[in-house]
Amino acid sequence: MSTFDSDLAAFVTATAAEYGIPGAAVGITLDGAEFTACHGVTSIDNPLPVDENTVFQLGSVSKSYTATVLLRLVADGRVELDAPVRRYLPELTLADEQLAAEVTVGHLLNHTAGLDWKLDAETGDGDDALARFVDRLPELPVIAPLGARASYSQSGYSLAGRVIEKVTGLTFEQAVRTLLFDPIGLRHSFFTAAEVLPHRFAVGHTADDNGELSVLRQWGDNRANNPGAGVASSVADQLRWARFHLGDGHTADGESLLPTPLLHSMREQTAALRASSLGDGFGICWFLRDVDGVRTVGHGGSGYGQFAELLTVPDRGFAVVALSNAGPDAGLAFNQAVLRWALEHYLGLVERDPEPLPYDAARAAEMAGVYENDMMRLTIADSGTAVSIDARIKPEIRAASDTELPDDLPFADLGLRPDDEYFVTEGGLTGQRGYFSRDTTGTITGVDLAGRLFSRVP
């Protein structure tokens, strides 16, 4: 049972007001004690008070469930992380045949498979959605040799979800419910709108140029993206999920779901990240990041006008969860402010932003240009006094979509750092970090943003 913390409640209320957040739910667990603070309403059109059981979209925090299900299958001897995916999906084909033959389950879970971010493929809401998605994967660009670098891939997790289906004989959603939701007691965690509707749930909001909020009608992504972004859950359930990962692999009722060493192996670094706001590296799914010399383990997510963060500090028995329902960037800024405040208030850990270098006209001109991946286009501009970034879903993707897509992020300013690195100083994506990549001739060929590679357009 959660208890009241007046400092937490005051901070959540003030910060939600500062960022114009209609509704938010924040939870803390520390050495067995639990605190929650809820603010505002589920929807400005049909308002209900947000409480600890209100269901929010988790976005990419969902990946932690997919990875943990696969670890359960590893514990049962039904999956090996080092095994080729084709052991479980003999039918797998990709744009690169050698990659298709050699990519392992582990490569999918730490984003080192060399697959681009996201395939824009609508494969329906039927039980064959993931199978049909995998059939479309030859359309997905390969952006790096196998294991050469970490690049965040939603499609890689869809492929991992299909492995779960083939091994268990269940749909992906049934497998997650059977192997995780039910035994851990996650009673307010769901995949479908039909499951969510009988419960109190938050809807996403977006702001126009004048800051006026409106409700987003889209709920969630298509079914093929459930392994990477499909879970909807409450702050109470997310605290329970955090306690499971901070613990020894047993449920509150004493049932052993995972051997402790295997569960905790998810926190061990398997791939490094450079100049990334996601963290210093990937474990098995989790983002790993040091704050004030202390290792943190977590994952963030975004949906349609909703944002989620789950961050743990295993050495301190600590976790913080932040859920909010305003976009395109207010919810992200609110959640990040909550995480920073919670780390400092409860643990005395202070996260410090890097200092930008002075504007350099030669560097700025070299970096300016258009960069793309399969879904988005970045325009990096040099004004003569500063560098900025504009991140947008490609117009052709919007035009071809049958569903409402998330809003584009506001224009943002970049602060340049040594060694071709940068961070976003203000505007959309404030605090995000990344770097520019070069070929053997020294020419800039790409830019990393939020762990995703965008290739330069000639």
| Active-site residue list | 60
The helix-helix angle for 330-347 and 6-19 (nearest 10°) equals 160
Contacts of 270 (CB under 8 A, 6+ apart): 106, 110, 112, 281, 282, 283, 284
Report residue 454: phi and psi, to 5°. Answer: -115, 120
CA 79 vs. chain centroid, Å, equals 24
> Cα(12)–Cα(190) distance, rounded to whole angstroms?
26
> Cα(204)–Cα(217) distance, rounded to whole angstroms?
8
Q: Where is 403: in which H helix or E strand?
A: none
- Contact between residue 308 and residue 331 where contact means Cβ atoms under 8 Å apart: no
Cα torsion through 15, 432, 304, 407, rounded to 10: 110
Contacts of 282 (CB under 8 A, 6+ apart): 110, 111, 112, 150, 269, 270, 271, 273, 288
- Return the residue matching tokens 């809003």: 407
- Return the residue matching tokens 């919670």: 342
> Cα(418)–Cα(137) distance, rounded to whole angstroms?
37
DSSP category for residue 61: G
